[in-house]
Amino acid sequence: MDISRKTDYALRMLAMLAEGNESLLSVRTAAEAVDVPYSFARSIQHGLVQAGIVESLRGVRGGMRLRLEPSEITIRQIVEAVQGPLVMNDCTAEEGMCPRMECCCYHPIWVGAQELLRDYLDSVTLDDVVNHRQYPAVDVKFTDRDRFVEYASCGKVCGK
């Protein structure tokens, strides 16, 4: 799992939108502020529009703005809008397959780590970040070893 540079730029652009008092932000202004080429910023904007996070208005007075309140946008939504689904390993992808999945002792670990990361990033919103509230709430099930099988789908090796 790696947060790409593109995702980093998207997060910075969205922070500008969440902090801004103006209703619209031009892509060019955002590109200059985060020091990214304009064409790359347009590509980021396109992905965020496709995900329903921002809307784009064309024209001289155009730009982009958030479609949702910052408190309704999770960091996971942003990451996945830019990079695609969060996947720890090929075998944990939605359609992932590995011939050893049913007997691999590591598969449940990757599944559990992926679920923990998703839960963590779902607990932090864009509003939390721009207002410096850093109190993510990860479900306590992740601290209880006996509950591991609840979130880590396992093969035969996990059965009790």
- Dihedral sign from CA coordinates of 143, 147, 151, 155: positive
What is the per-residue pLDDT across 117-131, written as a single tens digit (0 to 9) for each? Answer: 999 999 999 999 999
Q: Which band of pLDDT confidence, cut at 50, 70 and 90, is reported for residue 88? A: confident
Neighbours of 109 (CB within 10 A): 16
pLDDT at 40: 93
Would the pLDDT of 155 be above 90?
no
Q: In angstroms, rounded to a whole number, what is the distance separating the alpha carbons of residues 40 and 37?
A: 5
pLDDT at 21: 64
Surface-to-core class of residue 125, CB atoms within 10 Å of its CB (0-12 exposed, 13-18 middle, 19+ buried): buried
What is the per-residue pLDDT across 10-59, written as a single tens digit (0 to 9) for each? Answer: 999 999 999 876 678 999 999 999 999 999 999 999 999 999 999 998 87
Cβ–Cβ < 8 Å for 34, 149: no
Structural domains present in the chain: 5-158 (1.10.10.10)
Looking at the chain, the whole-number percentage of residues with pLDDT higher than 70 is 92
Tokens of 65: 């703005």
pTM: 0.83
Would the pLDDT of 146 be above 90?
no
pLDDT at 20: 78
pLDDT at 154: 56
Q: In angstroms, rounded to a whole number, what is the distance separating the alpha carbons of residues 94 and 100?
A: 16
